Structure 1
């Protein structure tokens, strides 16, 4: 116990501030992190337990072992086939040109697992990450330029001088495309100065099995999309199956692993006769005039770089593809028929029931493919309209993070509103946290891991997802645990969507769980990212103490868990 006296409210807010910032900082700089997901597309489903599925799985299992070599092209690219027609599978991967063999292999290995989760029965699929892409199809995709489907992702912030920026960007992208087309690896990076303190970084890459002419056509199509989707934006990328282009105001690739052409030399005019010269023949005043601004700029650049690397994470909004029918988040690709759900849950039998909440009952189910699912059957009194329900489904389906429960689809027939989620085997956090026998499975390292995972999920909702999402009901029962006890935030029935620049909202309908609610929300209906952080802080206290906030009994003179922690100074994590 510490001897410092502090009012409970101030102590608690300080506690939250330290915990949230420390874990947010850790999540931004963790080494060997999973590759950064960008987008994926699935189309044309195959039948479960089919020959095509067997061939697909064999192909995906073999690709990671070839990430350090290239079959006739270059390292970081590989294509392969498995099986015979009509069940032949064509697959390839392409790693970003600055990736090492080990980082490429890590990305491809992760992608082969992630793709099966996101597209369990897709016959033609492609998934993009910042570090690599992986693709397979039931038709030949080798040495073939494919420009659909494509997606444009853009930073939400705007530049200050759009006209000048667009001119510089057009010139820069033309140069980097020309450089990539004439490179054997079909990869290039290039930079340009926008201001004295702002450098524009660009990248262009094709699959190296393309001819130079096809690569040029693909990249030209990509940069032609930039004015339509991303004019004046501080960062954007266009992802096409056969090529990608991207630009940012921060170095999003490994500068030491790329070799851009040297800048054109600066020719200084000859000094006037009789001017003072050093031994080099350049006057002392000229040296000072050159060195001083460079030194100041270098210092400012280093400070600015540290700031922008932390802040300039991709806050992208997805721009719909031209062929939106191939989008995984179209309603058709997400919809289940009611009969399938009935069969999967054994007609919603009591034996399959996992739990029940204020918004409906949850059942375990098994699809014909063998995939286990969790089925949430919303109560008919939920009051949500059909179109509102569909819009919410599409939004939640686009939230992709390892610490969020993944939505697989929905069913909307008559008065039935059903959500289909991935099945998480270890139930919810409260199942372990408050049961004396189960508590022993939560050692300190596992509790710390759970806290960190929840913080990463919240940070994604608040800062890194396409829209800013306020969950509004963070609590132990809404944190599910997978087979490795990794936490996954669930239940977005009360979530609110903010605009990117919106910081606060108000409501007359207070929903959530008392004890987890921030005071300004419970009393005045004001909610923001701070509301979720407050709930997260209460949850952290529950994880550390093993005490349940919502049914806390007066102990040691404390009327609630927050006061109990303040009195006992539980701060040495």
Structure 2
């Protein structure tokens, strides 16, 4: 019995470790497809990364392609343009430093304020559900009721992300009249609504299977992420909308699409 419990612990531990990834000070890297002695490819990567940094000085999302390299970069929808520019400049410097000999690289900044990815295949518009990382925070006193409230909220913010132009949704709901649950969902803005829904569906199935009884949960995939918790982790708390359908909603089909998006 003790041996089987040990195996279960190892399996869960492996699940929550980001495969083929390294992290430092809350920043997550993926460095793949190493190369050597290819000055042309190195120049293409430098050009694309430079374009992405410049593009995100004006917008929260940018795309670039040059030579053999494709790339895109984004900031969360609640991040200011100024903070986006700062985050992206730092992320670009870090990914070129830590993944300098990789032809396919990604970086997620601390708290996923910004994200940058480049590679030698044209990934634009494709939902990439490769698992990046995930975490959970300690349990709650009424886990069954809390899980229902959290999942209702996540159905709503997922719908917000799917139907919005920037593929971002954030909201909150009340739990037992005195506690707020905050939720967020996002996809990379190159995805269509259906592709975003596909990626978020994978993320939510992971949440349902792994986060029962926990008051905080986040899962990040290459093209999307979901998160909920009982403390504020977004930058737009002053204008954060309350979920209007959470008390009645129990399934995705019962939650109307957000209006005006």
Query: What is the TM-score with the length of structure 2 in the denominator?
Result: 0.77
Choose 1 or 2 for highest CA Rg: 1
- With over 3 angstroms needed to count, the CA separation of the structure-2 counterparts of 1:102 and 1:128, relative to structure 1, is same
Describe the SS at the equivalent of 1:165. Answer: helix
1:170 equivalent in alignment to 2:151:
yes
Partner residue in 1 for 2:28: 39
CA–CA distance in structure 2, aligned partners of residues 128 and 67 of structure 1: 15
What root-mean-square deviation, in Å, do the aligned CA atoms of Structure 1 and Structure 2 show? 2.1
1:187 equivalent in alignment to 2:168:
yes
Partner residue in 1 for 2:257: none
* CA drift at 1:68: 3.4
* CA drift at 1:182: 1.3
1:125 equivalent in alignment to 2:105:
yes
Describe the SS at the equivalent of 1:234. Answer: strand
Is the Cα contact below 8 Å between 1:154 and 1:230 reproduced in 2?
no
Query: What is the TM-score with the length of structure 1 in the denominator?
Result: 0.37
More strand by share: 2
- With over 3 angstroms needed to count, the CA separation of the structure-2 counterparts of 1:261 and 1:170, relative to structure 1, is closer
Say how many residue pairs are matched. Answer: 220
**Higher RCO (Cα < 8 Å, 6 or more apart):** 2
- With over 3 angstroms needed to count, the CA separation of the structure-2 counterparts of 1:37 and 1:61, relative to structure 1, is farther
* CA drift at 1:66: 1.1
1:113 equivalent in alignment to 2:93:
yes
**In the alignment, which of 73, 77, 84 is matched to residue 93 of structure 1?**
73
Partner residue in 2 for 1:399: none
CA–CA distance in structure 2, aligned partners of residues 257 and 42 of structure 1: 37
* CA drift at 1:151: 2.6
Is the Cα contact below 8 Å between 2:168 and 2:187 reproduced in 1?
yes
Is the Cα contact below 8 Å between 1:93 and 1:132 reproduced in 2?
yes
CA–CA distance in structure 1, aligned partners of residues 226 and 87 of structure 2: 19
Partner residue in 2 for 1:63: 52
| Gap runs ≥5 in structure 1 | 1-34, 70-74, 265-573
**In the alignment, which of 76, 99, 103 is matched to residue 60 of structure 2?**
76
Describe the SS at the equivalent of 1:134. Answer: strand
Deviations 1:505-558 (A, max 9, x none): xxxxxxxxxxxxxxxxxxxxxxxxxxxxxxxxxxxxxxxxxxxxxxxxxxxxxx
Is the Cα contact below 8 Å between 2:137 and 2:217 reproduced in 1?
no
Partner residue in 1 for 2:5: none
Is the Cα contact below 8 Å between 2:161 and 2:185 reproduced in 1?
yes
**In the alignment, which of 171, 188, 200 is matched to residue 207 of structure 1?**
188
Is the Cα contact below 8 Å between 2:172 and 2:242 reproduced in 1?
no
Partner residue in 2 for 1:147: 129
Is the Cα contact below 8 Å between 1:156 and 1:233 reproduced in 2?
yes
Is the Cα contact below 8 Å between 1:98 and 1:253 reproduced in 2?
yes
Matches within 5 A, 1:242-391: 242-256=223-237, 258-260=239-241, 263=244
**In the alignment, which of 187, 198, 201 is matched to residue 179 of structure 2?**
198
Describe the SS at the equivalent of 1:157. Answer: strand
